Structure 1
């Protein structure tokens, strides 16, 4: 039985027993992505509508037959047996039940909910956003959902690494998260904790001020009260004393 690896993060790719298959165009990539995201048989008309929403029924059905032929040919040219991966009949198409196939998105979804070591594996899975270069509507929704999950994972991994004493690794994760979402308050707070862990009091103040400015400018809000309380505690301020503004202390801004 052939083994298959489907990678959907970044460009859609298929390996057959370790050999790359040339998928032969974006429609074949999109069909493989659609089948891999929802394993099991799917009605042909549902697949055709998802891939060619503007086409009429006969035209989209013909396009689906041609694209399936291209996908099967790609498996064959890579030395595999198409029927070991794909199960197609006149009504439905799907990945074959029991096929020896791994899908990076499925592994990501499972590992991101696991313990720290599993979360590290999930982070390594996420090479880039889902199915780069493909723009079907069904992919756009799933791409955004997985992007949000990736950002949540970066936050968890940053905390995992900090608690394990890997401060450099934690900073790498939280900095990546802030590049993706500079409005994420918990990411700023995690970076503040990292500065505190190495005794960088001035950087704690700078990062808090940077967060306050970004949230005020882009959202019109102040940091949450619990965020300010934690930063005040990190700085050793008396209870109920607010974190001072940098201007009042004569400090200048620096980039994270």
Structure 2
């Protein structure tokens, strides 16, 4: 009988081998390597790639030696589950493998396919969605951290944020479903809205729906208290007040002047885009304090069509609409219909500069533009920005040591630059003091498109970037 391996990554990390929880393996890098391999099973991984993933600040010889030690540790417990050769490492294709985050992604993908086919959120689909969301017991690898493995942490961070947004979008779809199903479903809607708000307390649209649901089941006081919680959160965290739509609902609940939404049958309720809904729900975080009335409902001919899959320029893999990073190769994605529009792609701040396109390199201006570095950007591979370390032979491609890097809080491997399609992108490598693009701080592992003339700050060291 084939061995079974269960890896639970949502809410922490639990590994079960043939039904038994594995507690003997304590090396964090060994555990992280097993998790990474279990999420990337399509092909084995070259030893050099894995060594760079976990020991990027070491020389290649030292990194490969460290990898051999970790693999020896893994083989003590998972020899049959792994496929290890002198050149590469992977998961045994005969293994009965279950990974909760992979299963959740796959089930949400199925629902996105239903949506893209213009299907509807019927009771069976809603039940399937509810079952899928039961897998989400918390953030991806919550509380699990691997020291000095910036590339792995960047990969985990991207996956964590993407799953979180997908779950928020799916929960939002379910709240709408229950709201339009009549009194027997209102309590389910309240529970679902409460769960969504634990993930995103500033999701004002959900606060409003929960207010309505509470009022509809006769809990008027709870509905009014929900408004106060919403108002306090928005004021404390964003410095804004609730929208006019939320305030008007509050007044209607006060006077008892509310009506239930029109009940719709299963076949008439569309399944909303699960990723884009989550992204749109966060738009209030960047809003100004000025509030405007909500726009009038759009006519059918004005509605935005459902977005199609985004095909990765690097490997050809089809990714769901709204994805920022390729699920297959981890390259930055640029929608073919939106290339050049950073506000709809990777979130780069809007500037007036041109895109990288056919440029061969960059000029990095430092110290109030009094000094500059001329840097060639290769067609493939990362260009690491950081500072040299006397303890390591592995120097960054762009060494800022001579420009006060240590005093300005620049990490040894601070950020990376690379070509992605027609663009040049920057990624923060989990640096200690952060990377800022035009004054906006990047999250670890976040990919942003650069444009000519952008201000790029590593820690407290400010630079200006120009294409050549």
TM-score for the superposition, normalised by structure 2: 0.44
Query: Aligned in 2, Cα 1:211/1:30: closer, same or farther, shift over 3 Å?
Result: same
The match for 2:128 is: 118
Structure 1 position 36, deviation (Å): 1.8
1:121-150 CA-to-partner distances (Å, cap 9, x unmatched) read 222212222223224332233223223333
Structure 1 position 188, deviation (Å): 0.3
1:52-80 CA-to-partner distances (Å, cap 9, x unmatched) read 232221122112122122222112xxxxx
Q: How does 1:49-88 map to 2 (within 5 A)?
A: 49-75=52-78, 82-83=79-80, 85-88=81-84
Q: CA–CA distance in 1 between the matches of 2:132 and 2:157?
A: 21
The match for 1:4 is: 5
Q: How does 1:21-170 map to 2 (within 5 A)?
A: 21-22=22-23, 23-39=25-41, 40-75=43-78, 82-83=79-80, 85-113=81-109, 114=111, 115-131=125-141, 132-135=143-146, 136-162=153-179, 165-170=184-189
Structure 1 position 160, deviation (Å): 4.4
SS at match of 2:16: strand
TM-score for the superposition, normalised by structure 1: 0.75
SS at match of 1:93: strand
Query: Aligned in 2, Cα 1:70/1:153: closer, same or farther, shift over 3 Å?
Result: farther
Q: CA–CA distance in 1 between the matches of 2:63 and 2:100?
A: 28
Structure 1 position 90, deviation (Å): 2.4
Whether the 8 Å contact between 2:190 and 2:214 is mirrored in structure 1 is no
1:181 to 196, 200, 222: 200
Which has the larger share of strand? 2
Q: CA–CA distance in 1 between the matches of 2:51 and 2:237?
A: 42
Structure 1 position 98, deviation (Å): 4.8
Whether 1:236 and 2:257 are equivalent positions in the alignment is yes
Whether 1:215 and 2:218 are equivalent positions in the alignment is no
Q: CA–CA distance in 2 between the matches of 1:57 and 1:16?
A: 32
Q: CA–CA distance in 2 between the matches of 1:216 and 1:16?
A: 48
Which has the larger share of helix? 1
Query: Aligned in 2, Cα 1:210/1:110: closer, same or farther, shift over 3 Å?
Result: same
Bigger drift between 173-182 and 30-39 goes to 173-182
Structure 1 position 157, deviation (Å): 4.0
SS at match of 1:74: helix
Cα RMSD for the two superposed structures: 2.9
Query: Aligned in 2, Cα 1:127/1:217: closer, same or farther, shift over 3 Å?
Result: closer
Alignment length, in residue pairs?
Answer: 231
The match for 1:197 is: 216
Q: Which runs of 5+ in 1 are unaligned?
A: 76-81, 243-256
1:207-250 CA-to-partner distances (Å, cap 9, x unmatched) read 3344234324432334345555666777537xxxx9xxxxxxxx
Q: CA–CA distance in 2 between the matches of 1:90 and 1:42?
A: 11
SS at match of 1:55: coil
Q: Which runs of 5+ in 2 are unaligned?
A: 112-124, 147-152, 259-292, 294-468
Query: Aligned in 2, Cα 1:46/1:233: closer, same or farther, shift over 3 Å?
Result: farther
Structure with higher RCO (Cα < 8 A, 6+ apart): 1
Whether the 8 Å contact between 1:12 and 1:33 is mirrored in structure 2 is no
Query: Aligned in 2, Cα 1:8/1:179: closer, same or farther, shift over 3 Å?
Result: closer
Structure 1 position 159, deviation (Å): 4.2
Structure 1 position 31, deviation (Å): 0.4
Q: CA–CA distance in 1 between the matches of 2:7 and 2:77?
A: 13
Q: CA–CA distance in 1 between the matches of 2:91 and 2:248?
A: 52
Q: CA–CA distance in 1 between the matches of 2:60 and 2:39?
A: 23
